[in-house]
Amino acid sequence: MVSSESSTLTDRLAGTLLGTALGDALGLPAEGMTSRAVARRFGRVDRFRLLGRTGFVSDDTEQAALVAQALARHPDDVDLCVRAFRRSLLGWFCRLPWGVGMATIRSCVRIAFGLHTSGVRSAGDGAAMRAAIVGAFFHDRPVERAAFGRALAEVTHRDGRAVRGALFVAELAACCARSPTGTAPMVCHAEARGIVMQAELGRAIDRARELALARSGTAEAAMACGTSGYVVHAGSFASFCFLRYGNEPLRALTEAISAGGDSDTIGAILGGWLGAVAR
């Protein structure tokens, strides 16, 4: 018989992956667009619009799923888990997926050549986009969460900002996954903020919190935080949307995507957090 605790964890793991996929698929059609262009073309982005009413996920969700598979196979050995992720990432890359970031391309080429250090010096959000499932998986194991989170991030990104950004995404997902039903987004976010030691990222996250507390509008926050694929921008703006609108998940995603920029990855990060929360 499945225990209530196991059932809850399974739900939150599934919610994290499904939330990542939903934010990714909703945001993908708006990727690279300005907020004005998003409004003009789509209006309110509250349904799939890539091909008619059909939605598709990008590399954000696909890589998160590869991480989940590696964790399921090797939950107690970080080296074996990383090796499994590297192998599956290379196999995935060889199938020529669409929309892969340059850091991931370079890293996969390095894996193909057998280089032990595959990650490159990039501060993009490619490691952060797949990190929420690490946090939900190790929601009650902080040592493992940090070790696996860092090692899996460094498969593609070795810049300190990218790694710290991925660890923050994982930490907030962990806080969401272990919090009781009804816990306020501000509580989870404040707890996760404690692990951010990278100064620039910390300042950006704090700015997002201040904007949310001031009940600033999405357009103002997007200007202040940034919406590009730079991990500091993505982590900051996703934080604002989580804090400002997190009690209304679909609205939070819609507001994030309406700002344009790297909308699929910001949507994926935000969706992972929202999916980990018990409702």
pLDDT in tens, 30-42: 999 999 999 999 9
Whether residue 66 has pLDDT greater than 50: yes
Instruction: For residue 247, count CB atoms less than 10 angstroms from its CB and return exposed for 0-12, middle for 13-18, buried for 19 or more.
Output: middle
At residue 7 the predicted structure's pLDDT band, cuts being 50, 70 and 90, is low
d(CA 107, CA 95) in angstroms, rounded, equals: 15
At residue 81 the predicted structure's pLDDT band, cuts being 50, 70 and 90, is very high
Q: What single-letter amino acid sits at 235?
A: G
At residue 54 the predicted structure's pLDDT band, cuts being 50, 70 and 90, is confident
Distance from chain centroid for Cα 197: 19
98-105: average pLDDT:
91
Task: Give me the number of domains the chain comprises.
Answer: 1
d(CA 64, CA 57) in angstroms, rounded, equals: 11
At residue 5 the predicted structure's pLDDT band, cuts being 50, 70 and 90, is low
At residue 279 the predicted structure's pLDDT band, cuts being 50, 70 and 90, is low
The answer to whether 106 and 118 have CB atoms below 8 angstroms apart is: no
- The alpha carbon dihedral of 126, 128, 129, 134 has a sign of positive
Beta bridge partners of 124: 230
Write phi, then psi, for 120 (nearest 5 degrees). -115, 165
The enclosing domain of 166 has a CATH number of 1.10.4080.10
Write phi, then psi, for 157 (nearest 5 degrees). -130, 125
User: Nearest to residue 276, comparing CAs of 1, 18, 4?
Assistant: 18
pLDDT given at position 49: 81
| pTM value > 0.75 | yes
The answer to whether 71 and 137 have CB atoms below 8 angstroms apart is: yes
pLDDT in tens, 249-277: 999 999 999 999 999 999 999 999 999 99
Whether residue 4 has pLDDT greater than 70: no
Whether residue 8 has pLDDT greater than 90: no
46-74: average pLDDT:
92
pLDDT in tens, 150-184: 999 999 999 999 999 999 999 999 999 999 988 99
At residue 3 the predicted structure's pLDDT band, cuts being 50, 70 and 90, is very low
Whether residue 197 has pLDDT greater than 60: yes
pLDDT given at position 1: 34
d(CA 207, CA 216) in angstroms, rounded, equals: 11
pLDDT given at position 226: 98
47-65: average pLDDT:
90
User: Nearest to residue 225, comparing CAs of 244, 243, 242, 206?
Assistant: 206
* 115 Cβ neighbours under 8 A, 6+ residues apart: none
54-79: average pLDDT:
96
Q: What integer best gives the mean pLDDT of the chain?
A: 94
- The alpha carbon dihedral of 114, 117, 123, 126 has a sign of positive
| Owning domain of residue 175 | 4-276
